Amino acid sequence: MRKNVPTETTSEILEMMEGIKVAMNTLIAEKEWIDNETRKEAQLKLREMLYYAGSRKWIQNEQLLDKYHQGLIFDREDSLDQMVTKIKKWKSDAEYRKLLRKVEGRVENFHDFPATLVNAFFSPRENLFEVEAGFLGPPHYYANYPKAINYGAVGMTIGHEITHGFDPSGSKFDHAGKLRNWWSNATREKFDKLVQCVVDQYSNEPIVPDIGMNMNGDLTKGENVADLGGLKAAFRVFSALIT
């Protein structure tokens, strides 16, 4: 991490994340179809949404790393096969302990994604989004390249993940990661109609034109909504930077 993701890169990505969160807050404020109470809940969720670039802080904290690997002990005589078996058992035990843990509200988990993972994600139970270290380099991010390129790639991805918090699935979780209906019936009904417009539009997109096979817009609606919202928020920030 320290070698391949410079501090300058992390700082710029975090700045992009904060800026796009602000843009998303403005977009929520502008929507006339959202009633005031639902708008307050949406803005609260956005305000409480955590974000990470490259890795979570605990990964670079030796004490927390030791805590994470507690119970994983190798002997000098262990073969490679024995070490792999111990790692698998240790991971299985850790997952089992999660099942036994009582969860109330928001819980930030210890994720063990590989540092090379080229991806980003949103976690509704934690109300957070993260861009992994493997994503913070070419062809997605280029240091010293024009902002248009980085906002069009990483910026749009950041906006995409934020929007997942308000897509047809993510919108069912509140600011604390609790599965709770925080929408008014009227606003949810209007939202569902707008989502249906997206479903209809994408269902008309051909996948294999020669045989008349189209996309299933209902299956992809979460990703499509996130794409549209993410692009709009990222473009809003970029436009402000160049004016």
- Using the Cα atoms of residue 132, residue 138, residue 143 and residue 144 in order, give the sign of their dihedral: negative
Contact yes or no for 68/74 (Cβ under 8 A): no
Tell me how far apart the terminal alpha carbons of the chain are, to the nearest angstrom: 35
Contact yes or no for 217/199 (Cβ under 8 A): yes
12 is catalytic: no
Tokens of 155: 């910026």
Secondary structure (3-state) at 243: coil
Given the residues 12, 126, 130, 227, the one annotated as active site: 227
Q: What is the residue whose two structure tokens read 């955590």?
A: 50
Given the residues 12, 41, 161, 167, the one annotated as active site: 161
Beta strands in 141-187 (DSSP E): none
Q: What is the radius of gyration, based on Cα positions, of the chain?
A: 21
Residue 108's H or E segment, with its range, is none
Residue positions annotated with a catalytic role: 161, 227
